[in-house]
Amino acid sequence: MKMGGIMNNLIRIIEQFKNKKILVLGDVMLDKYIWGNVSRISPEAPVQVVNVVKESYAPGGAANVANNIAALNAKTFMVGIVGNDTTKEKLIRELKKRNIEVSGLINDENKRTIQKVRVIGRNQQLLRFDYEKKGYVNSKTENSIFDFISKKIDDINAVIVSDYAKGTITKNLMERLIVLCKEKNKIIVVDPKPKHKDFYKNATLITPNNTEAHQMTHFLEEEADDNVEKIGKQLLAELNSNILITTGEKGMSLFEKDGKVTNIPTFAKEVYDIIGAGDTSVAAVALALASGASFEEAATIANHAAGITVGKVGTSTVSIDELKKSIENE
């Protein structure tokens, strides 16, 4: 297909996003930012004094994946764990503001809502506080999650699993979910954590970054760049899933179950901040697959989306217009 035809095809796929419904399951978090000016050192200790100017909130973790899907005009159902605390109320407010469906957020009395607080001075992160209670969810909570997804599965086009290894994603839950998606012929895309590698067998697509991919195959980090092809093929064989490895400034490498390997160069013009690029690309790739894209087309669209995100500071999203413009200008 000629370049113009490829571009038109990608645009056509993107225009289908607005009709799609995506369920995101994972470790939801609230990101809080404390913004301030730094002009002196404290007389009490050798630390900077931050004069606070403002505070802001944004969905974090798996909730940022849902935020990216909503920004791309699709309907999103957020499924995850929250505690009975004020952080939950703030997170729900931020999600509702972005038209994200929150009925899949399940209260767990043994958990707190995860919050990450970042202190920013002179546009640099000075400090981060994490509020979380580690440990896997119990079987009661696991069943509540699965029951919610079972009721919703016929209404949605794809499931994204956004695993931050905070306890929401268990082996049993993943196995049941992959069977359910197979039965219902639904796409399931996983943004993985290496320690849970075996949880993801038989998913439609798994999207590790370079570091995660080499940890999942036990290659040394310094060998990873030279061995992306070996790593991808090993993961594909072990997990019986299509594999998309994101390699930062080098772009992406796609390994399909039919044996096809495709390397897609990055579309990023300038890299300011890689935070959230993985969330953006997994959102875009799942939406594209749900809209009828081939794996290669979906990876190309996701690569454009990630290229836009890294050109922005902080956790950010991509709009349909930005995505179209990036593709048209390539």
User: Which amino acid belongs to residue 67?
Assistant: N
Domain ranges for the chain:
3-32+58-116+133-328
User: Which amino acid belongs to residue 301?
Assistant: I
User: Which amino acid belongs to residue 160?
Assistant: I
Using one digit for the tens of pLDDT, what is the confidence trace for 251-298? Answer: 899 999 999 999 998 765 555 445 567 899 999 999 999 999 999 999
Whole-number Å distance between alpha carbons of 25 and 237: 25
Please pick, among 155, 225, 279, 321, the residue that the annotation labels catalytic: 279
The class level of CATH for 3-32+58-116+133-328 reads: alpha beta
**How confident is the prediction along the chain (330 residues), in pLDDT tens digits per residue?**
445 678 889 999 999 999 899 999 999 999 999 999 998 999 999 999 999 999 999 999 999 999 999 999 999 999 999 999 999 999 999 999 999 999 999 999 999 999 999 999 988 889 999 999 989 999 999 999 999 999 999 999 999 999 999 999 999 999 999 999 999 999 999 999 999 999 999 999 999 998 899 999 977 666 655 688 999 999 999 999 999 998 866 789 999 999 999 999 876 555 544 556 789 999 999 999 999 999 999 999 999 998 887 655 555 688 888 889 888 887
Strands 205-206 and 242-246: parallel
Residue 188: both structure tokens together: 């399931």
pTM over 0.75: yes
pLDDT computed for residue 272 by the predictor = 46
pLDDT computed for residue 221 by the predictor = 62
Torsion angle defined by CA atoms of residues 304, 302, 310 and 66, in that order, rounded to the nearest 10 degrees? 130
pLDDT computed for residue 64 by the predictor = 94
Whole-number Å distance between alpha carbons of 305 and 291: 16
pLDDT computed for residue 298 by the predictor = 96
Query: Taking the chain, what is the end-to-end CA distance rounded to the nearest angstrom?
Result: 16
Strands 242-246 and 75-82: unpaired
Q: Please say if 130 is a catalytic residue.
A: no
Helical H runs in 72-203?
86-97, 139-152, 171-183
CA-to-CA separations, 273 to 12, 50, 87, 143, 248, in angstroms, rounded: 29, 22, 26, 38, 11
